[in-house]
Amino acid sequence: MRPLLPAAAVTTAVAVAFALAAGAGVAVAAGSPAPAPGSSSFTISDPRIKESSGLAASKIHPGIYWTHNDSDDGPYVYAVDSATGRTVARVTMEGVGAPRDVEAISLGPDGQLYVGDIGDNLGGTWDHVWIYRFPEPAQLGDVTVKPVQFTVRYADGPRNAEALMVHPVTGRVYIASKSEDKGGLYEGPERLSASGSNEFRRVADVPWVTDGAFSPDGGSLTLRGYFFARTFPWKDGKPQGEGARVDAPWQGQAESVTYTPDGRTLMFGSEGANSRVVAVPVPVPVPSPGGSKGAVPSPGATGGSAGAGAAAPGEGGNFTVGAMVLVGATLLVLLGKRVVGRGRRHD
């Protein structure tokens, strides 16, 4: 029996459907906010960076991340371009001697970088540690700076630490100690002093922490360890409650975390040559059926998919789904016409 429509017509209809789907996909993509620079995963390619132990997103250089080695490198801080993974600047800190164990970096509201020489792998045997502070360079390129050096002591005695966070509103500095038993979050004085020592006092208990970061608005604190990441509401100078689990990626030496400047993405880093920095979208609050707001993960906010280089939200998904729907609908219409045509010929 001769079909109602020739094969060429079906082929043309399918092609038209794909064209319409493509147009629909472009329209959806155009209506979505463009991803901010530096909000995608990348690999640090500089062979000098073998123990990236801290991460801070630049506020004046979009897509640039500041990092440093753990130890045995020298007084250096590196600027890495997330678009290429290449180092675009190396800052040499002059006048600080030989850093012992640099573990963290954070950018304060004053536009200055705070570098935490706060590690103590001997379990807290040093009676003091240091913080180095210098303005974020306005131009990217190798440069030598002379930072302000702050001496830090803990009110309850020496300890090992790997996380330093500067609150983006108050400018207050916090350090989280790393302990198998019970780590602590320590609050520095309202303003650090370069003369004498700065006493940090314990304000909260925290789990085994390797790094942390405040959200850009200062309303949340995210802490990570080797096997976990949690985001805590921040109120009255302390983290609140048990925090919400973050679907962080599995990384062999999970050492760093920072927010992108727009606060929409968390960037998780690790030690090792050619280490991967993995982007994980921050869960966004949406109205629940009862009217209250609840947090739901953004598309692609799984550590595994992000680590595997999954497409960013809005990339490809709308076009593919639209094309499949339109092609399916077109074929159903054609099939329906053919069935009707057969029925009429049997009347």
Residues 138-168 have pLDDT tens digits of 999 999 999 999 999 999 999 999 999 999 9
Instruction: Show the tokens assigned to 257.
Output: 């975390």
Average pLDDT on 60-64 reads 98
Quick one: pLDDT at residue 123? 72
* Cα–Cα distance, 312 to 318 (Å, whole number): 12
Residue 223 in this model has a pLDDT that exceeds 60: yes
Q: Tell me how crowded residue 133 is: count the other CB atoms within 10 A of its CB.
A: 19
* Cα–Cα distance, 201 to 35 (Å, whole number): 39
Residue 339 in this model has a pLDDT that exceeds 50: no
155-189 burial code (b ≥16 CB/10 A, e <16): eeebbbbbbbbbbbeebbbbbbbbbeeebbbbbbe
Q: Say which range, 20-29, 42-51, 228-237, has the weakest mean pLDDT.
A: 20-29
Question: CA angle 78-195-153, nearest 5°?
Answer: 75
Looking from the CA of 338 toward its CB, the CA atoms found within 13 Å total 15
Instruction: Give residue 130's Cα distance to chain centre.
Output: 26
Residues 114-123 have pLDDT tens digits of 999 999 887 7
pTM as predicted: 0.75
Task: Check residue 315 and report its DSSP letter.
Answer: S
Residue 187 in this model has a pLDDT that exceeds 80: yes
Q: Residue 187 in contact with residue 150, Cβ under 8 Å?
A: no
Strands of the sheet containing 254-259, edge to edge, are 42-43, 276-281, 265-270, 254-259
Closest of 173, 200, 166 to residue 184, by C-alpha: 200
Residue the block writes with tokens 């970096």: 105
Quick one: pLDDT at residue 33? 66
* Cα–Cα distance, 184 to 158 (Å, whole number): 12
265-296 burial code (b ≥16 CB/10 A, e <16): bbbbbbbbeebbbbbbbbbeeeeeeeeeeeee
Residue 77 in this model has a pLDDT that exceeds 50: yes
Q: Residue 268 in contact with residue 224, Cβ under 8 Å?
A: yes
Residue 17 in this model has a pLDDT that exceeds 50: no
Residue 299 in this model has a pLDDT that exceeds 80: no
Residues with Cβ within 8 Å of residue 334, at least 6 apart in sequence: 5, 10, 13
Residue 176 in this model has a pLDDT that exceeds 80: yes
Alpha helix (H) residue ranges in the chain? 7-31, 303-307, 317-346
Q: Residue 345 in contact with residue 39, Cβ under 8 Å?
A: no
Residues 188-203 have pLDDT tens digits of 999 999 999 999 999 9
Going from the C-alpha of 26 to that of each of 19, 300, 319, the distances in angstroms are 11, 20, 7
Instruction: Name residue 46's amino acid.
Output: D
The values of phi and psi at residue 43, to 5°, are: -115, 130
